[in-house]
Amino acid sequence: MKLSFRTSALCTATVAGLLVLTACGKKEEQQNAAPAAVSTAPAAAPAPSATAPAAATTAASVPAAAAQPAATPAAVDTIKVGSVTLGSAVGADKKVSKEKTTFSPNDKTIYASVATEGTTAGATLNAKWTYQDGDTTTTVSDISQSISTDGPAVTTFKIQNPNEWPEGKYKLTVSLNGEAAGNESFEVKKK
């Protein structure tokens, strides 16, 4: 059997194309494996240093262009609550402008500014406001907001009462993606 030059070139091109496609699939598998390892690591401070050498090892075995996407999911998981501030007014920047922890019964609205640091493609902040009457705790409001940010951000929550607030002790508990992230106690009393 005699092969022509054209048939030989076509076979060679086909094999080369299959090798390239196969190699692309392997790089994709490596990229997909690296983010899974990063995203399952705990968010505690020691975890990033423990995962950093693994990422460096992966980068050494994969071309630099292919290693870059593996770093992106780690940045997505860096969101954390920096501070929670209560007050009676909020500015255009969504930050509490009149910070306080003691409110009057006739204050109609109580605000909370939740400052976050880091980045996320999608996270959920939850604010649970409770009233503590002796041994009984009553939920006043429980609301969630979805956030997406690539840097520091502020999310505002509020509770309103057209009537007077009952005097007593209150608490705001903030959670991020279902994990406790901060709380602030405050009081309502006549001045």
Averaged pLDDT, 165-188: 96
Give the other-Cβ count within 10 Å of 72's Cβ.
Answer: 13
Q: Determine what percent of the chain is predicted with pLDDT higher than 90.
A: 57
Q: Higher confidence at residue 78 or residue 173?
A: 173
Q: What is the DSSP string of 26-54?
A: HHHHHHHHHHHHHHTS-SSTHHHHHHHHH
Where a domain ends, among 23, 43, 76?
76
69 with 84, same domain: the answer is no
Average pLDDT over residues 65-77: 45
pTM (2 decimals)?
0.60
Q: What is the pLDDT, as a whole number, of residue 14?
A: 60
The strand order across the sheet containing 136-149 reads 102-103, 179-188, 168-176, 120-133, 136-149
Domain that holds residue 169: 80-188
pLDDT exceeds 50 at position 96: yes
In this prediction, residue 10 carries a pLDDT of: 56
pLDDT of residue 161: 94
CATH number of the domain residue 121 falls in:
2.60.40.10
Residue 191: per-residue pLDDT: 79
Q: Are residues 102 and 183 in the same domain?
A: yes
Nearest one of 152, 150, 147, 151 to 174, comparing CA atoms: 147
Least confident stretch, 39-53, 136-150, 151-165, 172-186: 39-53
Residue 103 has a pLDDT of 97
Q: Quick one: pLDDT band at residue 26, thresholds 50, 70, 90?
A: very low
For residues 94 and 66, state if they share a domain: no
Average pLDDT over residues 68-78: 50
**Same-domain status, 67 and 102:** no
The rounded percent of the chain whose pLDDT value lies above 70 is 60
Q: What is the pLDDT of residue 12?
A: 61
Q: Are residues 36 and 129 in the same domain?
A: no
End position of a domain, from candidates 44, 76, 108:
76
Q: Could you give phi then psi for residue 109, rounded to 5 degrees?
A: -135, 135
Domain boundary among 60, 76, 92: 76
159/94 same-domain check: yes
Average pLDDT value over all residues in the chain: 74
One domain for residues 111 and 132: yes
pLDDT of res. 80: 93
Structural domain count, the chain: 2
Between CA 141 and CA 128 the distance in angstroms is: 6
Interval 28-70: pLDDT, tens? 444 443 333 333 333 333 333 333 333 333 333 334 444 444 4
